[in-house]
């Protein structure tokens, strides 16, 4: 059975990769690795080195703490959005939070 921390990391990396419409090969190429390395992370068979963890954080715009399970929030890049678009996103997030708390 996979260690819980490694399992959570495996799930996070796969979800972030899929949300970014990347294949394992695409991510591997960005990091200068083989696809089997990325597959190993997603299967929970291995974990990236510290420098690769930092690179993964940059690729997916999340903190290293997010990958390590110390920060449960994710970062949403809003660069290039208008103030009106940012306000709409903020309203949507508030709506989701209100519904969750009901």
The conformation of residue 76, written as its DSSP 8-state character, comes to -
More confidently predicted of 60 and 1: 60
Question: Token pair of 79, please?
Answer: 């660069």
Tokens of 94: 């508030």
51-to-4, 34, 48 alpha-carbon distances in Å: 22, 16, 8
Each residue of 19-69: pLDDT tens digit?
999 999 999 999 999 999 999 999 999 999 999 999 999 999 888 888 888
Six-digit token pair at 83? 């103030």
How wide is the angle at C-alpha 53 spanned by C-alphas 51 and 57, nearest 5°? 120
All domains in the chain, ordered by first residue: 4-75 (1.10.260.40)
Which pLDDT belongs to residue 1? 41
Mean pLDDT for the chain?
87
pTM exceeding the 0.85 threshold for the entire prediction: no
3-class SS shares of the chain: helix, strand, coil, % to 5: 65, 0, 35
Contact (Cβ atoms closer than 8 angstroms) between residue 15 and residue 26? no
Q: Is the pLDDT of residue 5 over 80?
A: no
Across 72-76, 83-87, 96-100, the highest mean pLDDT is recorded for 83-87
């Amino acid at each position: 059975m996979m260690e819980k921390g490694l399992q959570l990391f495996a799930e996070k990396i796969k979800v972030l990769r899929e949300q970014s419409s990347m294949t394992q090969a695409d991510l591997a190429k960005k990091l200068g690795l083989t696809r089997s390395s990325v597959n190993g992370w997603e299967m929970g068979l291995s974990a990236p080195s510290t420098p690769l963890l930092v690179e993964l954080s940059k690729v997916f715009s999340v903190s290293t703490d997010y990958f390590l399970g110390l920060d449960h929030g994710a970062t949403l890049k809003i660069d290039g959005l208008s103030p009106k678009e940012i306000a709409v996103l903020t309203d949507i997030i508030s709506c989701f939070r209100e519904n969750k708390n009901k």
